[in-house]
Structures are given as C-alpha cells and as structure tokens.
C-alpha cells in the first residue's frame, strides 16, 4: 500500500485518480506542523512506499509566516524520511524550482548549486536536505509551475481574470516549464514502485513541462485554447511587485528523469488541453 501525505492538493488529487488504493491523508489525519503525527502515521499504516505531496505553497504568504512554512516544508519531510528509513520504505518527496536563484538562461541540472530567493524556496530546500540526511531510499522530485483542474493555480486564475477583463499585464521575463499535476503524479508512482526494486535510483530528479515559456506566453496559450478574448501585455518582473522575489530562470534539466525512469518531459500544451477539458473550458 502507498501512503500519501496530502489529499486536497493538486498533485494529491491526481495521485488519487491514478492510484485509487493509495491511502491519502488530509490535514485532519496528519498535520505537517506536527512532525510526530507524520512519523506515527507511517508507523501505524506500515506502507510499502510513502509519497509526500503536501506543502506550504503560498509563496508570498510564506514571507510573513516563516515558522509555519519551515515546519511544513522543512521539518515534516525530515521526520517522514526518518520514519521511512527506520522501516526500510522508500520516500518520494516533491520539491520546487524555487530552490534555485534563477540566474542565467540554461536549465538547472539536478546537482546545480541552489540559492533560494525567498522563504518558500528556503524552507523547501531545508526539506530536501532533511530527506537526504535521513539516509533512507528516496526520490526528491523538483517540479515547477504546477497546473491542474483542482485547487489554486495559474490556469484557473487566468480563466477567471480573462473572463472579467479585456486586458491583463503579465510578467514576461520569468521563464520556466508549466507542469500538469497528472504528469507529476505519474512520476511519483513510477519512482515509488522502482525505488523498491532498485534503491540505487535514490536521488534528485527534475520534471517540468516543455517547451519552456514565459508566464505571459503561457497566459496567451490558455486564452487561445479556452477561446477567451483577452489581450496580454508583456511586463518585466519589476512592474509586478510581490512580497516574495521569484526566480527569472526556472528552466529545469529533465534528463536524469528520462535516464532513470524512462519518462519524457511532458508537453504542457497537451496537458493544458486536458485540464481545460476537465474544467469544461476548452474552446469548442
Ligand atoms: N503549486 C505549484 O506551482 C508548485 C508546487 N510544487 C510542489 O509540489 C508539491 C505539491 O504541490 P501542489 O499539489 O500544487 O500543492 P497545493 O497547494 O495544491 O496543495 C498543498 C497541499 O498541502 C496540504 N497542506 C498544507 N499545509 C498542511 C499541513 N500543515 N498539514 C497537512 N497538509 C497540509 C494542503 O492541505 P489543505 O487543503 O488542508 O490546505 C494541500 O492538500 C509541493 O511539494 C509543492 O511544494 C513545486 C513547484 C510548483
Ligand atoms: C495574476 C497575475 C500573475 N502574474 C505573475 C506573478 C507571477 O510571477 C506569475 C505566476 O503567478 P503565481 O501566483 O501562480 O505564482 P507562484 O504562486 O509564485 O507560482 C509558484 O508557486 C510555487 C508553489 C512554486 O513552487 C513555483 O514553481 C511556482 O509555480 O504570474 C502577473 O504578471 N500578472 C497577473 O495578473
Ligand atoms: Mg500560487
């Protein structure tokens, strides 16, 4: 049996869709601000593998709520990893492009130096380090710009704003790969299954949808596929001030994922079609 931390999140919901027998724990069953609750859940359920799909993902809010973000993103994953290592069970942990500083224009390799720009990225990096330091079999899957038909994400925000307004200003100098949550869920399940037979696959991997794009061009494709008429004007990051600084370069090198798990970089334009279709928002 696979134990999943997370129930209502984007990746968690796609895991439930693909693995109906997995046991998915919501906040009421395992609160990640309580590391001992995470350990206890793993000891009680004795799973064959654990996937952590829960996190504090409110990037701007984290700037003024560092204690909670660190507990959820930094400490809880370490507690899970310790319990998994004790029991000889693999842990799949989801992380983020925001562990990088966003310098340059080349895709970040899995072993590229990290340098988070804000609290969210810093706490996610602490979680990665805690998972590695626990010494058990694990896969840290870094992804970026997650989108799905569930929860809060850029696609749903654009559908809402695009219907209300005839013009939006969107940052065009942050470049990355929008990633459908379904593709992340698929990699989580592949990694969980393969780590059991091949612990040598332990390590850090990247999954991001291709081709790399800007938020502005991503918005244009959302409006085109949804048949919404809304002009998108390019702006620099400097013209969209937010509490948290975001990386300009979010490109991730996915080659280690292909080599270890045989999964190609997903095409986000196809994933976007499926998401809009799920939402009943695809242009007829
Ligand atoms: N969203 C994105 O754009 C990106 C996400 N990631 C990473 O991908 C993973 C999945 O993200 P995604 O599916 O988008 O996340 P969501 O924001 O959609 O969901 C987060 C989940 O974490 C749960 N959660 C938050 N705090 C706690 C807590 N204290 N105790 C228990 N559960 C908690 C939430 O529960 P509740 O519903 O109760 O709040 C929710 O189910 C995370 O590791 C994230 O860091 C990486 C790159 C981009
Ligand atoms: C709504 C809106 C956003 N933007 C910009 C702000 C931001 O740079 C970009 C995307 O907005 P979001 O609020 O989705 O950004 P954000 O929540 O920071 O997205 C990040 O979430 C975390 C959890 C991650 O791990 C990252 O990979 C990334 O997906 O679009 C505009 O320029 N104009 C707008 O009207
Ligand atoms: Mg967001």
CA 57 to centroid of ligand 1, rounded, Å: 5
Smallest CA separation from ligand 1 atom 2, residue: 146
Complex ipTM tops 0.95: yes
Residue to probe by mutation, ligand 1, list 40, 146, 155, most atoms within 8 Å of CB:
146
- Which residues are known to be catalytic? 120
HEC assignment per residue over the chain: CEEEECCCCHHHHHHHHHCCCCEEECCCCCCCCCHHHHHHHHHHHCCCEEEECCCCCCHHHHCCCHHHHHHHHHHHHHHHHHHHHHHCCCEEEEEEHHHCCCCCCCCECCCCCCCCCCHHHHHHHHHHHHHHHCCCCEEEEEECCEECCCCCCHHHHHHHHHHHCCEEEEECCCEECCEEHHHHHHHHHHHHHHHHHCHHHCEEEEECCECCEEHHHHHHHHHHHHCCCCEEEEECHHHCCCCCCCCCECCECCHHHHHHHCCCCCEHHHHHHHHHHHCCCCCC
Instruction: Give the pLDDT confidence score for residue 211 in this predicted structure.
Output: 98
Q: Please work out, in degrees rounded to the nearest 5, the angle formed at the alpha carbon of residue 86 by the alpha carbons of 80 and 91.
A: 40
Closest ligand 1 atom, CA of 27?
31
Residue to probe by mutation, ligand 1, list 7, 8, 9, most atoms within 8 Å of CB:
9
Instruction: Give the pLDDT confidence score for residue 213 in this predicted structure.
Output: 98
Instruction: Give the pLDDT confidence score for residue 184 in this predicted structure.
Output: 98
Measured CA to CA, the distance from residue 39 to residue 34 in angstroms comes to 9
Instruction: Give the pLDDT confidence score for residue 189 in this predicted structure.
Output: 98
Closest ligand 2 atom, CA of 153?
14
Extract the tokens encoding 62: 């984290």
Instruction: Give the pLDDT confidence score for residue 56 in this predicted structure.
Output: 98
Closest ligand 2 atom, CA of 237?
8
Instruction: Give the pLDDT confidence score for residue 284 in this predicted structure.
Output: 86
Structural domains in the chain? 2-152+178-210+252-268 (3.40.50.720)
How far apart, in Å, are the Cα atoms of 64 and each of 60, 69, 120, 153?
8, 9, 10, 21
Tens digit of pLDDT at every position of the chain (284 positions)? 999 999 999 999 999 999 999 999 999 999 999 999 999 999 999 999 999 999 999 999 999 999 999 999 999 999 999 999 999 999 999 999 999 999 999 999 999 999 999 999 999 999 999 999 999 999 999 999 999 999 999 999 999 999 999 999 999 999 999 999 999 999 999 999 999 999 999 999 999 999 999 999 999 999 999 999 999 999 999 999 999 999 999 999 999 999 999 999 999 999 999 999 999 999 98
């Amino acid at each position: 049996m696979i134990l999943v931390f997370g129930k209502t999140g984007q990746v968690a919901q796609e895991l439930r869709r693909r693995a109906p027998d997995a046991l998915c724990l919501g906040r009421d069953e395992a609160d990640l601000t309580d590391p001992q609750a995470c350990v206890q859940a793993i000891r009680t359920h004795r799973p064959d593998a654990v996937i952590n799909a829960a996190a504090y993902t409110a990037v701007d809010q984290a700037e003024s709520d560092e204690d909670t973000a660190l507990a959820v993103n930094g400490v809880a994953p370490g507690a899970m990893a310790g319990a998994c290592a004790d029991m000889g069970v693999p842990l799949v942990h989801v992380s983020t492009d925001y562990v990088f500083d966003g310098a340059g224009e080349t895709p970040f390799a899995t072993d590229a130096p990290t340098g988070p720009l804000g609290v969210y990225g810093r706490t996610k990096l602490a979680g990665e380090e805690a998972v590695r330091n626990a010494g058990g079999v694990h896969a840290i899957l870094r992804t970026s710009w997650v989108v799905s038909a569930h929860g809060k994400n850029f696609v749903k925000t654009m559908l809402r704003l695009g219907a209300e307004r005839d013009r939006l200003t969107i940052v065009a100098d942050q470049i990355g790969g929008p990633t459908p949550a379904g593709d992340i869920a698929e990699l989580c399940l592949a990694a969980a299954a393969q780590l059991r037979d091949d612990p040598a696959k332990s390590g850090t991997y990247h999954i991001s949808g291709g081709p790399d794009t800007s938020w502005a061009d991503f918005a244009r494709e959302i409006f085109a596929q949804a048949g919404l008429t809304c002009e998108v004007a390019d702006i620099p990051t400097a013209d969209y001030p937010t509490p948290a600084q975001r990386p300009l370069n979010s490109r991730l090198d996915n080659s280690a994922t292909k080599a270890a798990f045989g999964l190609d970089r997903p095409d986000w334009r196809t994933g976007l079609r499926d998401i809009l279709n799920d939402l009943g928002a695809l242009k007829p």
